[in-house]
Amino acid sequence: MPAKSRRRRSAARSPRVLRGTVFITRQVHFNAAHRLYNPTKSQAWNTNQYGLCTSPNWHGHNYVLEVTVRGEPDPETGYIVDLSELKRVLHETVVDRCDHRNLNDDVDFLRNVIPTTENLVIAFWDQIEPALPAGKLHCVRLYETPRNFAEYFGPDAPARA
């Protein structure tokens, strides 16, 4: 007669979620045209400041937007924010409103804003932050080209020397 197994059924243990502050980033892309132009200045001033970027015929970029959220992983899910929800927010607040648009004329929250990369990261923060489903917005980084980008850490960020 075979020996009886002495295995015990153990109660399911809760999986561990580790504690610590984590930074998680989602990247999205969009294409848009813009013109760098200050209407309170002369065309000569604008040309001197912005060069070819002030062309009245516009120019475009293949933008890459990176949004970083910080927080502690949720004890039940292990997420700071569900990345599919973050993607949805980024599309609703920025990508769907800016993609294949003229940033100067077609995007309501950019009207009367000179659409430099510096101004865009601030404007995008202002759109994304109130719609964020979880975590705290840490950084908005926008690549205008592979070598040119701006990042914004929010209105309360200390200036870095």
Query: What residues pair up with 1 in beta bridges, in sequence order?
Result: none
CATH fold of 22-152: Tetrahydropterin Synthase; Chain A (3.30.479)
**pLDDT at residue 63 in the model:** 98
Q: Where are the domains of the chain?
A: 22-152
**pLDDT at residue 15 in the model:** 77
Q: What is the pLDDT of residues 78-130, one digit of tens each?
A: 999 999 999 999 999 999 999 999 999 999 999 999 999 999 999 999 999 99
**pLDDT at residue 12 in the model:** 72
As a three-state string, the secondary structure of the chain is CCCCCCCCCCCCCCCCCCCCCEEEEEEEEEEEEECCCCCCCCHHHHHHHHHHHHCCCCEEEEEEEEEEEEECCCCCCCCCCCHHHHHHHHHHHHHHHHCCEECCCCCHHHCCCCCCHHHHHHHHHHHHHHHCCCCEEEEEEEEEECCEEEEECCCCCCCCC
More confident residue, 88 or 17: 88
**pLDDT at residue 136 in the model:** 97
More confident residue, 133 or 2: 133
Provide the pLDDT confidence category of residue 16 given band limits of 50, 70 and 90.
confident
For CA atoms 92, 126, 20, 150, the dihedral sign is positive
The residues annotated with a catalytic role in the active site are 53, 100, 144
Q: Report whether 91 belongs to an annotated binding site.
A: no
